């Protein structure tokens, strides 16, 4: 912003307003530059991840460039999602670190409700042989879906969480329950009835004693069952 030539003759209040407007304009330009820089770093990383011969470059150069390029915003979601899909299908020594970074970046977005819930469910469901990131990917997906549900009561996010809590693998079901509780606790929100019903069903009927125990522990933490009652439920099975 260019100052008028006689700005020095303006009253102090007017000069302060001009300086404030100049700072606002500068901040907006800087934020735009950072968003563009971040997008460029994402696109380069997407391209590099598709070349398995450049894994060292991905981890030591491209990934660090992304982390220092700015903060993710909702406009970056399509490319972040594209990068996560490329990463989980590519495999290799670099993919775990890249996949981890993608979910950490998604968690940094100021408006998590803009993250597509169907993508989180897709990431949660994804399994393949020798997938060293499968359980962590599932936990990240649960955490982000729970954050969206806690902040917005989004029906799609709640339905996704019900499915996540019903995963065929007992260890993933149990981990999802713990992640759900921790996320709602962190957000300072109460677990809604639809999820409490799923926890109660697991506490009574899950075929895994460990999962039943985990569900009862969560219900006990939120004040829905006493320790004595929880022990009675476990003894019934």
Q: Tell me the pTM.
A: 0.82
pLDDT at 189 over 90: yes
Q: Please, what's the largest Cα pairwise distance for the chain? A: 86
The mean pLDDT of 15-31, rounded to a whole number, is 55
- pLDDT value at residue 6: 54
Cβ-based neighbours of 26, under 8 Å, separated by 6 or more = 1
Q: What is the pLDDT of residues 198-221, one digit of tens each?
A: 999 999 999 999 999 999 999 999
pLDDT at 154 over 60: yes
- pLDDT value at residue 223: 92
Confidence class of residue 26 from pLDDT cuts 50, 70 and 90?
very low
Alpha helix ranges (H) inside the chain: 12-49, 55-57, 63-67, 77-90, 95-108, 117-125, 134-152, 155-164, 170-187, 193-205, 209-221, 227-236
């Amino acid at each position: 912003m260019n100052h008028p030539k006689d700005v020095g003759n303006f009253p102090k209040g007017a000069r302060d307003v001009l300086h404030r407007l100049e700072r606002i304009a500068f901040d907006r330009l800087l934020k735009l530059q950072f968003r563009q820089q971040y997008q460029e770093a994402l696109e380069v990383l997407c391209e590099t991840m598709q070349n398995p011969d450049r894994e060292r470059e991905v981890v030591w150069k491209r990934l660090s460039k992304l982390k220092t390029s700015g903060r993710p915003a909702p406009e970056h979601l399509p490319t972040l999602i594209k990068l996560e899909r490329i990463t989980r299908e590519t495999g290799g020594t670099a993919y775990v670190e890249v996949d981890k970074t993608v979910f950490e970046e998604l968690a940094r977005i100021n408006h998590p409700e803009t993250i597509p819930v169907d993508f989180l469910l897709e990431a949660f469901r994804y399994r393949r042989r020798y997938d060293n990131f499968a359980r962590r990917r599932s936990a990240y997906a649960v955490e982000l879906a729970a954050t969206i549900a806690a902040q917005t009561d989004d029906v799609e996010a709640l339905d996704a969480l019900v499915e996540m809590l019903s995963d065929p693998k007992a260890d993933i079901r149990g981990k999802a329950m713990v992640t759900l509780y921790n996320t709602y606790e962190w957000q300072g929100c109460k677990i809604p009835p639809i999820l409490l019903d799923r926890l109660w069903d697991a506490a009574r009927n899950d075929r895994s004693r460990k999962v039943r125990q985990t569900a009862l522990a969560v219900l006990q933490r939120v004040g829905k069952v006493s320790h004595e009652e929880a022990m009675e439920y476990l003894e019934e099975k």
